[in-house]
Each structure stands twice: as structure tokens, then as C-alpha cells.
Structure 1
């Protein structure tokens, strides 16, 4: 098995060995490598391969994922088990998850340091979604179909609760101390000052000081959820009728209510007017597809409670991540797109004081 390396230390022999792990008989002669994507916690690199010998199943390109070169982001990935969790997803859960993901050629993680490597299929010409630009209504419908696939695959599957690396399980470590959550929110307000609206302040003050109420609102049927279900973690190619959407970045998945993924996605991916005009139809689409896939007992009132909780989770992720990853201009703009979209959905559902 190839050893775990930083992407700049990878050579042709290593790539040959990685492909062999997936049963591909080929010999890489040379390659070009360069970063792709806009990840905050992990870095993605495209490898363009030239072969000395290759069969028809040898890929022309690969995309590898590695720990972030930014020290703050890398420390966060380790502290929150993001790196470890993603490797475990591809090793153990991805084969039965139904949702469209890249093919994994090779992945491994150091159990102690959480250094890792993940070599995947290159989904080009599919393009990464953009949280700042959002998605079209057609794209949103495709994404919700993928959400239904994922949630139905592990619906109320109690085996997930046995894993300590799945967020939200009985055995998962509590990595979010309440004092830290409140402190990060205070730091966020201090850093961004007037950019934080009065409505956002109202939501954040209540949420950060009442996390027990937030967790209680997520009670109910559980399944495998992505937990960071947003455009930046999706690849779109609508010309590919078999795989128009591919979902990536499995660093934060958990055992929780499916509706939270839906609220999380819709609150940040659609502009408020488009969401307001199409929200009920999108919810109907998701629940209908879930039923087609064998889940017909998701009560709508429970779903809506989870849906709003998903918007709160979107808000929480925005300020929490903003204070823990390496700060960039795009990152700041993205986090505020997430924050304000969540506030709009929460307000429209008369839930501004849900955790107050």
C-alpha cells in the first residue's frame, strides 16, 4: 500500500501503486499536478497522467485530496476529525450510500495524526458549485433528488450509531464545547462588526447560548446526512444525464435528521425570492422522492422542524468555520452569504426566537 504523503511529495511510482490498489494494471511515466477547487479545510489537486503502460481502465487524470496547507485550517481538520471521517466514509459507507460521489481509487489515514490522502476520479467537465452564485431552480431539484438517495440509503440504520467517527452518534466525541461555541460567536461579532445585521445578531445570540434546545429540535428519525450540503461541495454537469450532480467533501457527515440537509442547502443556495416562490414545491419533491425510495413515514411537521434546524445549522457553520479556518476575502463573502440566507429562511418561518 502506498504511504501517506503530502501532494508535493507524490511521484510516478506512488501514483502507479495507488492505481494498483484499485486493481488497475498501469505504470505512470510522468505527470503534472496543480491545485483545483476552493476548499477551506482540505486542498484538492488534479494529476494529469502520462503512462509507460496502461489499459483502457486507466484514468487520464485523478483528483487527490490532502490536508490544507493553511495551518489554521489543518489544525481544525484534525481537531474536528474532518480528515479521518472522510476517509472512513469512502472506505466503509460510500458503496451503499446511493448518492452520486466520485469513484475512490485509493485512500488512507494515519489513525494518530489524521494525516490522509484521498485519490478520486476527476469529474471534469463537471464544475464546482459556487456558494456565492447559488444554484438554479433546475439544479436545486437535482440536488434534492440526491439528498433523498442518501437519506433513504441509511434511514434509521442504527448500525451508524456504533461508529465514533460519525457525528451525532452515541459514541462520537463532543468536540464542540459550549463555551467555545459562545466565544467564537462573540469573536465573530467583534471581527465583522456592522456587517452582522441586527437579525443575525438576534439569531446568533440565541443559538450560541442555547445549544441544548438546538439539539433537542433535531430529535426524530435519523439517517446518514452530509451536514455541509451546499453548492461548494457539489459538482454540476447538466449535460451528463446519468450523473448531473456529484456530491463531494464528506468531512462532516453525521447521523441525524434528513430535513436538516434540505434546510441547510436551500437556505444558502437559493436567493430569498426564488426560495419563497418555490419552497413548498421543492419540499414536496424531496418528500415524494424519499417515498419512492422506500421512506414514507417522514411526518411533514417533523420534517419542517428539522428543515428550520438545518437553516440554523447553516448559520452556525458559517460563523463557526469563519473563525477557525484561514481567513480569505472569498471565505468571508461566502460565510456571510450562508449566514444571511439562513436568517432569511428562519425569519420566513417565524423562527427567529426558536432557541431564545
Structure 2
């Protein structure tokens, strides 16, 4: 089996071993490598392969994921257990997840240092979603279909509660002290000043100081949720009828309410006017698919608080991540798109005072 190494240290022999671990009996003779994507916590690299010998279906390219080269982002990935968690998803949960994910050739993690490697199928010509550009209604419908597949696959599956590497389980450590949340929110307001709207300040002030209230809003039936369910973590290919959207970045998944993923996605991916015009139809679509797939006890009354809690989670992710990852102009714009979209959804559902 291959060892764990940085992408710049990978050679042809290592790539051959990784492919063989994934069932491809090939020998790589040469390759080119370069970074792809816009990940905040992990770095993705595309490898273009030349073979000395290979079967006809051997991939021309594969994509590897590695710890971020940015020191702040890498430290965050280690502190939050993101690298370890993603490897565990592909090793143990992917086969039963129903949702469309990349094929994994090889993955491993050092559980002490959190160094890891994840070698996956290259999804090109699929294109990465863009949080800033948002998504179309047709794309939204595809995404909600995938969400229902994931949530129904592990609907009220209590065995997840035993895993320490699944977030929000009874055995999972809490890596985020409440005082850190307050500190990061206050720092966010200080850094960005007037860019933080009055309504956003209202939401952040209340939420950062009452995390118990936020957790109470997520009570109810649980399942496996992605927890960072947004366009940047999705690859879209409308020309592929079997996999028009594939969900990536399994660093933050948890045991929680399915509606939270839906609210998280819709809050940041659709402009407020479009959301208001089509929200009811989209939620009906998700709940109908859940019922078809066996989760027929997820009523709209139970779902809606989870949906709004997902918008709060989206807001939380925006300010929390902004203060912990390496700062970039695109990152700042993305985090404000997330925060402001979340506040709009929260306000439209009369939930601005949830935690006061």
C-alpha cells in the first residue's frame, strides 16, 4: 500500500500503487501535477498520467486531496478533525451513502499528525459550483435530490452515534469551546466593521452567546448530514444523466437533522428573491423524495425548524471559517454571501429573535 506523503513528493511508482489499491492494474511511467479548485481547508491536485502499461479503462487523470499548504487553514483542519473525518467517510460510510460521490482509489490518514492523502476519480468535465455565482433552480432540484438520498440512507441510524469521528454524536469531542465562538464573532465584527449589517450583528450576537439554544433547535430525528452543503463542494455535469451533480468535501459531516443541510444550501446558493418565489416548491420536492426513499415520518412541521437552523449554521460557518482560514479576497466575498443569505432566510421565517 502507498504511504502518506505531500503531493510534491509523489512519484510515478507511488501513483501506480495508489491505482492498484483502487483496483486498476496499471504502471505509471510519467505524470504532470497541478492544483485545482478553491478549497479553504484542503488542497486538491490533478495528476495527468502516462502509462507504461494499463487496462483500457485506466483513468487519464485523477485528483488527490491533501492538507492545506496554508498554515492557518492546515491548523484548522487538524484542530477540527476535518482530515481524519474525511478519510473515515470514504473508508467506512461511502458504500452505503446513496449520494453521488467520487470514486476513491486510495485514502489513508495518520491519526496522530492528521497528515492524509485521498486519491479520487477526476470528475472533469464536471465544473465546480461557485458560492458567489450561486446556482440555478434546476441545479437546486438536483442537489435536493442528492440530499434526500444521503439523509434517507442513514435515517435515524443510531449506530452513527457511536462514532467519535462523526460530528455531534454522543462520543464526539467538542472541539469548539463556547468562549472561542464569542471571541471569533467579536473579531469578525472588528475586522469587517460596517460590512457586517445590523441584522447580521443581531443574529451573530445572539447566536454566539447562546449555543445551547441553537443546539435545541436541531433536536428531532437525525441522520448523516454533510454539514457544509454548498455549491463549492459540488461538481455539476448536466451532460451526465447518471451523475449530474457529485458531492465532495466530506470533512465536516455529522449526525443531525436532514433539514439543516437543506437550509444551509438554500440560504447561500440562491438569491433571496428567487428563494422566496420557489421556496415552498423546493421544500416539498425534498420532503417528497425523503418519503419515497423511506423517511416518510419527516413532516413539514418537524422539518421547518431544522431548515431555519441550517441557515443559522450557514451563518455560523461564515464567520467562524473567515477567522480561522487563510484570508483571501474571494474567501471574504464568499463568507459574506453566505452570512447575508442566511440572515435573509432567517428574517423571512421570523427567526431573528430565536436565541434572545
TM-score range, shorter chain: over 0.9
Secondary structure of 1:323's partner? helix
Aligned equivalents of 2:40 and 2:261: distance in 1? 20
Match of 1:169 in 2: 169
Match of 2:198 in 1: 198
Aligned equivalents of 1:334 and 1:145: distance in 2? 24
Secondary structure of 1:355's partner? coil
Distance apart, 1:36 and its partner CA: 0.3
Aligned equivalents of 1:131 and 1:18: distance in 2? 32
* Matches for 1:34-73 after TM superposition, within 5 Å: 34-73=34-73
Secondary structure of 2:44's partner? strand
Kindly provide the CA deviation profile for residues 199-234 of structure 1, in whole angstroms up to 9, marking residues without a partner as x.
Answer: 000000000000000001100000000000000000
Secondary structure of 2:49's partner? strand
Distance apart, 1:57 and its partner CA: 2.9
**In the alignment, does 2:36 pair up with 1:4?**
no
Kindly provide the CA deviation profile for residues 12-43 of structure 1, in whole angstroms up to 9, marking residues without a partner as x.
Answer: 00000101111211100000000000000000
**In the alignment, does 2:283 pair up with 1:283?**
yes
Distance apart, 1:193 and its partner CA: 0.2
Aligned equivalents of 2:114 and 2:153: distance in 1? 27
* Matches for 1:130-149 after TM superposition, within 5 Å: 130-149=130-149
Kindly provide the CA deviation profile for residues 47-96 of structure 1, in whole angstroms up to 9, marking residues without a partner as x.
Answer: 00000000023111000000000000000000000000000000000000
Kindly provide the CA deviation profile for residues 252-291 of structure 1, in whole angstroms up to 9, marking residues without a partner as x.
Answer: 0000000000000000000000000000000000000011
CA RMSD of aligned residues (A): 0.4
Match of 1:106 in 2: 106
Kindly provide the CA deviation profile for residues 138-175 of structure 1, in whole angstroms up to 9, marking residues without a partner as x.
Answer: 00000000000000000000110110000010000011
Match of 1:214 in 2: 214
Match of 1:19 in 2: 19
Kindly provide the CA deviation profile for residues 97-154 of structure 1, in whole angstroms up to 9, marking residues without a partner as x.
Answer: 0000000000000010110000000000000000000000000000000000000000
Aligned equivalents of 1:195 and 1:25: distance in 2? 54
Aligned equivalents of 1:56 and 1:268: distance in 2? 42
Structure 1 residue runs of 4 or more that deviate by more than 6 Å after TM superposition: none
Aligned equivalents of 1:23 and 1:349: distance in 2? 49
Aligned equivalents of 1:160 and 1:58: distance in 2? 35
Secondary structure of 1:64's partner? strand
Match of 2:320 in 1: 320
Is there any run of 5+ residues in structure 2 with no aligned partner, and where? none
**In the alignment, does 2:91 pair up with 1:91?**
yes
Secondary structure of 1:134's partner? coil
Aligned equivalents of 2:59 and 2:65: distance in 1? 17
Match of 1:150 in 2: 150
Kindly provide the CA deviation profile for residues 176-202 of structure 1, in whole angstroms up to 9, marking residues without a partner as x.
Answer: 100000000000000000000000000
* Matches for 1:196-275 after TM superposition, within 5 Å: 196-275=196-275
Aligned equivalents of 1:2 and 1:203: distance in 2? 47
Match of 1:334 in 2: 334
* Number of aligned residue pairs: 356
Match of 1:76 in 2: 76
Aligned equivalents of 1:203 and 1:157: distance in 2? 32
Aligned equivalents of 2:295 and 2:319: distance in 1? 33
Aligned equivalents of 1:177 and 1:284: distance in 2? 37
Tell me whether 48-57 or 328-337 shows the greater mean CA deviation.
48-57
Aligned equivalents of 1:188 and 1:37: distance in 2? 25
Compute the TM-score of the two structures, normalised by the length of structure 1. 1.00
